[in-house]
Amino acid sequence: MAATSLSVGLIGLGTVGSQVAERLLNGLPQLNRRAGLELCLEKILVRDVAKPRAVTVAPALLTADPAELLDNPTIQVIVEVAGGDEPMHSYLQRAISAGKHVVTANKAVMANHGMQLLALAAEKNADVYFEAAVGGGIPLISTFRTDLQANRIERVSAVINGTTNYVLGRMSADGLPLEYAVREAQAAGYAEADPTDDVDGFDATYKLAILGSIAYEISVRPQDIYREGIKGIEPVDFRYARELGYAIKLIAHTQRHPGRVEARVHPALVPLDHPLAQVEGADNAVFVEGDLVGRVLLVGQGAGGRPTASAVVGDLIDLARSIRRGVQHRPSFSFDDRIGVIPMGEVETRAYYRIRAEDRAGVVAAVGQVFAEEGVSISSFIQKDAWVEEKTAELVITTHPTADMRLQRARQRIAELELVRAVSAFLRVF
Ligand SMILES: NC(=O)c1ccc[n+]([C@@H]2O[C@H](COP(=O)([O-])OP(=O)(O)OC[C@H]3O[C@@H](n4cnc5c(N)ncnc54)[C@H](OP(=O)(O)O)[C@@H]3O)[C@@H](O)[C@H]2O)c1
């Protein structure tokens, strides 16, 4: 007999979970019509059942016992919007092993264990949906999986972490130091109390691992991705970057090369006329290049309870439709593990150096000699502000593309020059 309802167990009732519950409890006639099945929110797992909630739910729906969802045979799908690697990874594994479908917004679990969960799901004839794990409400996974599937994806470049984009935007607009801008982002609700995941680039790395894996159908693990956060950038870098025609963004970039891919997350100078330079505030943007479609730009709110719930509930409806039709809706994922990630040192990049040096004859020649010996060709060279009493000046240099290891070696060698006080900033140019 054809299914008429879909019983849902929800894990998490926080920022995203309360919006998902709200939509499931209050938007049902329309959702059910689209799903073709009656969606029934049966149980909600939280840590503390007594905590006040942003959404009104019957107390009987709440539990703090995972077994009430995971071992409940009537629950057919687990919607996980709790976050963190463990115990959620184990919960999802347990759910799939029991033949339940999964919808998750958990980037850490999908980046670290996505392959295994998808393989297990294929074995158990269950589906795993994870649109909300990357880019909040922006339809990315479904775009790769359906609309772009005729393409060979050549590259994906993204501003994929709203918190750092907000912070860099504030530093750029008002000359705020990083720590002030982070505090402002926390006050505005864009940054967590502990901003490490965002500021150090972990969040963007998880998302790039998922995007890269889906785009190329290979295994891109977070630990294979080169990662640098935004610490160390100073307000003056935005001023110099602007003078040179660039904005500064935290960029997640992956690109196909013969037999390998590059995958990296780091701050970069982005030309002001590039679409990624124009992404404002906490928005996200993903720029995709496919061999048939050419360039596609997807922009939107990459976080927030409502946009993320839009992706979660959209996945749930998609799943319900496939169940109603009695089909495994999604083509199963296959990942070619022979294709690896190129070490950062071998990647061709350009760089921006801000060097504090003694304002004396011979500095420019010494710096130039290091670049020449490392085979790095200079694209622009400007001598900036001088500190007369300290007899120092700032040199701002950008390079042409070179293997990144040469750029990094030049950075180290310049810092060791007798006439140089410090290489105060070293950023890639996109
Ligand atoms: N917030 C966003 O803008 C956003 C955007 C995209 C993706 N996501 C992802 O969505 C997920 C949820 O994020 P969120 O911002 O909604 O988090 P949140 O506000 O901190 O809410 C987490 C919820 O999960 C519950 N929970 C956490 N650990 C649990 C455990 N071990 N057992 C049972 N329940 C547990 C919490 O229960 P209590 O309420 O009882 O503490 C809380 O209700 C994360 O994976 C996040 O990365 C979030």
DSSP string, 349-388: EEEEEEEEEESSTTHHHHHHHHHHHTTPPEEEEEEEEEET
- To test the pocket of ligand 1, the residue of 15, 44, 104 to mutate (highest count of ligand atoms within 8 Å of its CB) is 15
Instruction: Tell me how far apart the alpha carbons of residues 429 and 401 are, in angstroms, rounded to a whole number.
Output: 9
Q: Is the CB of 304 under 6 A from ligand 1?
A: yes
**DSSP-based three-state secondary structure for 298:** strand
134 within ligand 1 shell (Cβ under 6 A)? no
- Ligand 1 centre from 141 Cα, in Å? 21
Per-residue model confidence (pLDDT) at position 388: 75
CA distance 256 to 276: 19
**Pairing relationship of beta strands 128-129 and 101-104 according to DSSP bridges:** parallel
The residue whose CA is least distant from atom 15 of ligand 1 is 15
Residue bearing the CA closest to ligand 1, atom 27:
82
**CB-count burial class (<10 Å; 0-12, 13-18, 19+) for 74:** exposed
Ligand 1 in contact with 45 (CB < 6 A)? yes
Spatial distance between the Cα atoms of 427 and 270, rounded to a whole number of angstroms: 11
- Quickly tell me which residue has 């496919």 as its tokens: 290
* Element holding 23 (H helix, E strand): helix 15-26
The pLDDT score that the predictor gives to residue 401 is 98
CA distance 157 to 285: 8
First to last CA, the chain: 56
Instruction: State which amino acid sits at residue 55.
Output: V
> Computed over its alpha carbons, how large is the radius of gyration of the chain?
24
Question: Residue 43: its pLDDT value, please?
Answer: 98
Q: How far is the CA of 288 from the centre of ligand 1 (A)?
A: 29
Side chain identity at 27, as an amino acid letter? G
Å from CA of 105 to ligand 1 middle: 9
The dihedral sign for the CA sequence 357, 358, 359, 362: negative
Could you tell me the two tokens for 200? 């150090």
Ligand 1 near 135 CB (within 6 A): no
- 10 Å Cβ neighbour count for 228? 19
Over its length of 430 residues, how does the chain's per-residue pLDDT go in tens digits? 567 899 999 999 999 999 999 999 998 788 889 989 999 999 999 999 999 999 999 999 999 999 999 999 999 999 999 999 999 999 999 999 999 999 999 999 999 999 999 999 999 999 999 999 999 889 999 999 899 999 999 999 999 999 999 999 999 999 999 999 999 999 988 888 999 999 999 999 999 999 999 999 998 999 999 999 999 999 999 999 999 999 999 999 999 999 999 999 999 999 999 999 999 998 999 999 999 999 999 999 988 899 999 999 999 999 999 998 887 655 567 777 778 999 999 999 999 999 999 998 999 999 999 999 999 999 999 987 777 778 899 999 999 999 999 999 999 999 999 999 999 999 999 9
Residue 148 gets the label, from left (phi > 0), alpha (psi -120 to 50) or beta, of: alpha
CA distance readout (Å), 374 to 10, 64, 199, 406: 56, 60, 31, 6
**Which numbered atom of ligand 1 lies nearest the CA of 87?**
31
Q: Whose CA is nearest to atom 25 of ligand 1?
A: 12
Please report the atom of ligand 1 found closest to the CA of residue 13.
43
CA of 106 to the centre of ligand 1 (A): 9
Residue 16: exposed, middle, or buried by beta-carbon count in 10 A (0-12, 13-18, 19+)? buried
Verify whether ligand 1 is closer than 6 Å to residue 307 (CB atom).
Answer: no
CA-nearest residue for atom 23, ligand 1, is 12
Among candidate residues 323, 350, 354, 330, the one with its CA nearest the CA of residue 426? 354
Sign of CA dihedral 276, 278, 284, 288: negative
CB of 82 sitting under 6 A from ligand 1: yes
CA 184 to chain CA mean position, Å: 21
Binding site membership of 310 for ligand 1 (Cβ less than 6 Å): no
Maximum distance among all Cα pairs of the chain, rounded to whole angstroms: 87
| DSSP 8-state code for residue 362 | T
Answer yes or no: are the C-beta atoms of 204 and 250 closer than 8 Å: yes
DSSP classification of residue 391: T
Residue 174: CB atoms within 10 A of its CB come to: 11
Q: Is the CB of 18 under 6 A from ligand 1?
A: no
Q: Looking at the whole model, is its pTM more than 0.85?
A: yes
Q: Among positive and negative, which fits the CA dihedral 323, 326, 331, 334?
A: positive
Q: Is 308 in the pocket of ligand 1 (CB under 6 A)?
A: yes
Residue 99 C-alpha to ligand 1 middle, in angstroms?
24
> Exposed e or buried b for every residue in 121-155, given b needs 16+ CB within 10 A?
bbeeebbbbbbbbbbbbbbbbbbbeeebeebebbb
Q: Give the angle 159-161-163 at the CA atoms, nearest 5°.
A: 125
Is residue 303 classed as helix, strand or coil in its secondary structure?
Answer: coil
Which residue's CA is minimally distant from atom 46 of ligand 1? 83
Contact call for residues 252 and 207 (beta carbons, < 8 A): yes
- Residue 3 Cα, ligand 1 centroid: separation in angstroms? 30
- For residue 75, CA distances in Å to 16, 41, 49, 93, 155 come to 20, 9, 20, 15, 40
pLDDT attached to residue 156: 98
Give 7 Cα–ligand 1 centroid separation in angstroms.
Answer: 21
CA of 306 to the centre of ligand 1 (A): 13
**Amino acid 283: pLDDT:** 92
Q: How many CB atoms lie within 10 A of CB 99?
A: 12
The alpha carbon of 11 and the centre of ligand 1 are apart by a number of angstroms equal to 8
159 ligand 1 Cβ < 6 A: no
Residues 130, 127: Cα–Cα separation, whole Å: 10
Token representation of residue 91: 């919960």
- Number of the ligand 1 atom closest to the C-alpha atom of 88: 31
- Give the strand pairing for 402-403 and 420-429: unpaired
Neighbours of 412 (CB within 10 A): 12
Q: Can you give the pLDDT at residue 330?
A: 57
Catalytic residues: 207
Atom of ligand 1 nearest to the CA of 51: 40
State if residue 284 touches ligand 1 by the CB under 6 angstroms criterion. no
C-beta 218 within 6 A of ligand 1: no
